[in-house]
């Protein structure tokens, strides 16, 4: 049924923190219960309620009652993953986005859904996991009163957080760019099956990033075009900057996807060239031994010389064996000289 909360068994338990601020004051409270949140909400300041983890439907039912959330909003923020989008619900604006989080030691990344419920005086954010996000510098700016964020409303806070999510794509793309550059040298110098596997992995990661950022561009475009009574015109200009960043990210992703596809073609060409060099070397060796094998085959027939003087008289010569070896060596040398003059012996050293 619409509005049903489907909780995954391994989902993290929710942890609630609150940051309340105005131009002069700021405070933060962690590990709140849904009931305790109501005591900190007031209309004289902006409240940011951040919930990390979606593993308890009762907590979200209480949050829904406290913030008067529509059941469809609760469904979207709990039943993950959802496609990034923007929806108007009464006096609330729902924003679904995808945040990219880098793994330690540049070992890839994972995508995490972040939901925004924007109202006039508060912003409720819901993350899949309680650990690691890209909002720490926003918290520092609020704490240290840097910039104009504490002079603005909840709509500017929503912009700052969404901008941090979008900017989080750039470090991941930088790492992918370095991996592609390393693969370009590897594909040309020493292509291996592991190289092919790495190319496929990069293509899958780029596709995942594209699926995460493309709908966010559409959502931002909808917000800029249609507007919202909860976002004033001045803050709307900042969302245009977010939109420009998404366009840049999409352009970089498409460029990297083309490079990855080109790497696949280069890999196939490099493997084919390597195979051709192997076949060329084997062909040269075989060609040299063909006449030698022919001579050895003739003298292996052993016709009886007593029956006819034409039956291999060389078998009775004192230096017949040395003569045969000399002929075979001379043929090999002549063939090698011929191949060298033709340039067929200029074979790259095989790894």
- Environment class of residue 233 by beta-carbon count within 10 Å: exposed (0-12), middle (13-18) or buried (19+)? exposed
CA pseudo-torsion sign 19, 22, 24, 25: negative
Architecture of domain 272-342: Up-down Bundle (1.20)
Residues of the chain with CATH 1.20.58: 272-342
> What integer pLDDT is reported at residue 351 of this predicted model?
45
Termini Cα distance of the chain: 62
CA distance linking residue 147 with residue 137, whole number of Å = 12
Architecture of domain 1-150: 2-Layer Sandwich (3.30)
- What is the distance, to the nearest Å, from the Cα of residue 348 to the centroid of all Cα atoms in its chain? 35
Are 110 and 101 in contact, with CB atoms under 8 Å apart? yes
Are 127 and 161 in contact, with CB atoms under 8 Å apart? no
CA distance linking residue 89 with residue 304, whole number of Å = 107
Pair of tokens at residue 286: 């075989």
Pairing relationship of beta strands 92-102 and 46-52 according to DSSP bridges: unpaired
CA distance linking residue 251 with residue 245, whole number of Å = 10
CA distance linking residue 48 with residue 71, whole number of Å = 21
Largest CA distance in the chain: 125
Are 88 and 81 in contact, with CB atoms under 8 Å apart? no
> What integer pLDDT is reported at residue 246 of this predicted model?
95
- What is the distance, to the nearest Å, from the Cα of residue 192 to the centroid of all Cα atoms in its chain? 21
Strands of the sheet with 46-52, listed across from one edge: 26-32, 15-21, 46-52, 122-127, 109-118, 92-102, 85-89
What does pLDDT average to in each consecutive run of 10 residues of the chain (351 residues)?
A: 77 91 90 87 86 90 90 88 89 92 79 93 91 88 90 93 94 92 85 86 93 94 90 90 95 94 84 78 81 80 74 78 85 84 62 45
Beta-carbon-side half-sphere exposure of residue 262 (alpha carbons within 13 Å): 12
Pair of tokens at residue 103: 């793994």
Residues of the chain with CATH 3.30.460.20: 1-150
* Residue showing tokens 């899958």: 204
Distances (CA, A) of 186 to 108, 267, 290: 20, 9, 37
Are 263 and 183 in contact, with CB atoms under 8 Å apart? yes
CA distance linking residue 232 with residue 93, whole number of Å = 13
Distances (CA, A) of 182 to 41, 104, 191: 52, 20, 12
Strand partners, 49: 18, 124
CA distance linking residue 247 with residue 257, whole number of Å = 15
């Amino acid at each position: 049924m619409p509005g049903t909360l489907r909780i995954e068994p391994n989902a993290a338990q929710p942890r609630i923190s609150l940051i309340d601020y105005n131009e002069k004051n700021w405070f933060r409270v962690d590990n709140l219960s849904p009931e305790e949140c109501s005591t900190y909400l007031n209309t004289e300041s902006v409240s940011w309620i951040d919930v990390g983890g979606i593993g308890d439907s009762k907590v979200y039912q209480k949050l829904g009652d406290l913030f008067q959330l529509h059941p469809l909003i609760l469904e979207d923020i709990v039943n993950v993953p959802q496609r990034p989008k923007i929806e108007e619900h009464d006096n609330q604006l729902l924003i679904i986005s995808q945040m990219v989080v880098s793994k330690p030691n540049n070992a890839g990344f994972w995508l995490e859904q972040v939901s925004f419920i924007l109202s006039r005086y508060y912003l409720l954010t819901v993350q899949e996991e309680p650990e690691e996000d890209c909002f720490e510098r926003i918290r520092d700016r609020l704490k240290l009163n840097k910039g104009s964020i504490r002079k603005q409303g909840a709509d500017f806070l929503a912009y700052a957080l969404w901008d941090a999510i979008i900017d989080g794509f750039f470090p991941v793309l930088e790492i992918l760019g370095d991996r592609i550059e390393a693969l370009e040298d590897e594909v040309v110098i020493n292509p291996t099956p592991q190289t092919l596997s790495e190319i496929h992995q990069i293509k899958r990661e780029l596709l995942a990033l594209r699926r995460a950022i493309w709908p966010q561009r559409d959502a931002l475009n909808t917000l800029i075009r249609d507007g919202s009574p909860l976002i004033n015109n001045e803050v709307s200009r900042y969302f245009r900057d977010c939109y420009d960043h998404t366009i840049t990210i999409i352009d970089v992703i498409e460029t990297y996807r083309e490079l990855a596809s080109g790497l696949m073609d280069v890999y196939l060409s490099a493997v084919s060239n390597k195979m051709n060099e192997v076949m060329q070397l084997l062909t040269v060796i075989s060609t040299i031994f063909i006449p030698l094998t022919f001579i050895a085959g003739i003298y292996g027939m052993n016709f009886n010389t007593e029956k006819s003087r034409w039956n291999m008289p060389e078998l009775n010569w004192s230096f017949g064996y040395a003569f045969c070896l000399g002929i075979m060596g001379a043929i090999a040398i002549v063939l090698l000289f011929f191949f060298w003059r033709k340039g067929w012996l200029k074979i790259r050293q095989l790894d």
